[in-house]
Amino acid sequence: MTHLQGMLSSFLGDRLIAGEAGRAPYAQSEGHHVGALPALVAQPVSIDEVCRVVQAAAAEGVAVIGYGAGTSLEGNAAAVTLDTLVVDFSRMNDIVEIAPEDLIAVVQPGVSREQLNEQLRTTGLFFPVDPGANATIGGMIATRASGTTTVRYGNMRDNLLALKVVTASGALIQTGTRARKSAAGYDLTHLFAGSEGTLGLIVEATLRLHGQPEQIVSASWDFESVEGAVDTVIQTIQSGVAVARMELLDTRAMIACNRQSHLGLPECPTLFLEFHGSAAGIAEQLDIVRMLGDTNGGGTLKTATATEERNALWKARHHLLWASRAMVPGAQAWITDICVPISRLAEAISRAETMIEASGLFAPILGHVGDGNFHVFFILQPDDAPSWSKAAAINEAMIDHALSVGGTCTGEHGIGLGKQDALRREIGAPAVDIMRNLKQALDPQGILNPGKIFI
């Protein structure tokens, strides 16, 4: 490690961090998993530097983990051994190119989604994927993230055209082109997307952009029951209405939201919606959705068109994690993530609710319900071991139920450290073996983010 340190500092200078205080933040993320303290942190500023960093690490057989904004939730970027080199992409945050005529942006991995949309504002275009957190694009690709707008615009996979990747040997490859589709060989782009840094380091991405909608209408909508809210969403999806956002917040989530963000909304199961389109198109969508909700115990569909009012709603939604934590001073959060076929969503949420109720835990439910995806935010005191055990049991039961109805153990957070056993249950040992063979083929030394997805 001393040798590696010398070699890296020769070209990184003070962008190689070796002091403990400087390294400590990289052992943490917004999730509940805590990583080992990495031995070194490199902050490259160019693709060439990333290649040299990985080549040096490969020569020494040192583990390499890419790091974005630290917003992952399953320990996806946590070090598992002390002799780990973290590659922090925070200084590679340039927007390389915006090509409005092709609806494309080319970005470095450290660009955050908010930064990208800020830059796009005057172009008439936007990048839709919104996981809530202000994650980096590199991190979002690495975990195949999705979020509030996926129901209409797709997830990171759907909005990704091409990557530049530094391989385990420190070579640079390009996957894909700027064409909107391609049948040219194996789909390397989408193999690296979601591989959590275990197959290569993403150093540049070509993204699909979308036209800013002519009009945007947001809405909050209170329901008598979670079931009524979910059934409204399911029926909307089945009717083919392309609502841009369909988020469920349960009563506990609304209490936390009101307290933190002063929304003054009814404290009952609530849908946060957003409609994109022409004025006439949105009116049509609203008519259909309102009709469906009315038969499912929907209250007042409260629409907002003014930008500030809309932003207030979504800001409250995005702050729900902190709002939930603030309900229990000193508490941490453990956030689950399952995704089921939409026809089984009401059942899945109802089962989670029943278990939470019985456990006595404080655990708001939030769902990207249009995708069949939802989260439980377990709010737990760090030293309350029995409560962590209860949360773990509920998490496992949620996963088992999701798998039993044809769903997945993770809709958007990835496997990381937290869901390796669940992955095996989901796809079976032979398919995990296929993944292991692929890893072995691309990273024979096993230096890229070791210990993740499978062991």
Min separation Cβ 299 and a second copy, Å: 26
For a second copy, the closer of residues 110 and 176 by Cβ is: 176
CB of 124 to a second copy, least distance (A): 9
CB of 119 to a second copy, least distance (A): 18
Q: With respect to a second copy, which residue has the nearer C-beta, 183 or 306?
A: 183
Instruction: Quote the CA–CA distance of 357 and 362 in Å, as a whole number.
Output: 9
Q: Which is nearer to a second copy, 270 or 408 (CB)?
A: 408
Distances (CA, A) of 295 to 46, 146, 224, 309: 56, 30, 11, 27
- Residue closer to a second copy by CB (options 143, 387) is 143
**Minimum Å distance from CB 235 to a second copy?**
10
Q: Name the residue nearer to a second copy (CB basis): 93 or 236.
A: 236
Do 126 and 143 form a contact (C-beta atoms < 8 A)?
no
Residue among 61 and 100 whose Cβ is closer to a second copy: 100
Give least dist CB 375 to a second copy, A. Answer: 13
Round to whole Å and give the CA distance between 186 and 372: 29
Q: What separation in angstroms does the CA of 250 have from each of 27, 240, 286, 349?
A: 32, 25, 22, 10
* DSSP letters for 311-345: HHHHHHHHTHHHHHHHTSTT-EEEE--EE--GGGH
Min CB(243)–a second copy separation in Å? 13
CA distance 291 to 75: 43
Q: What is the DSSP string of 23-53?
A: HGGGG--SSS--PBPPSEEE---SHHHHHHH
Taking the C-alpha atoms of residue 196 and residue 435, their distance in angstroms, rounded to an integer, is 13
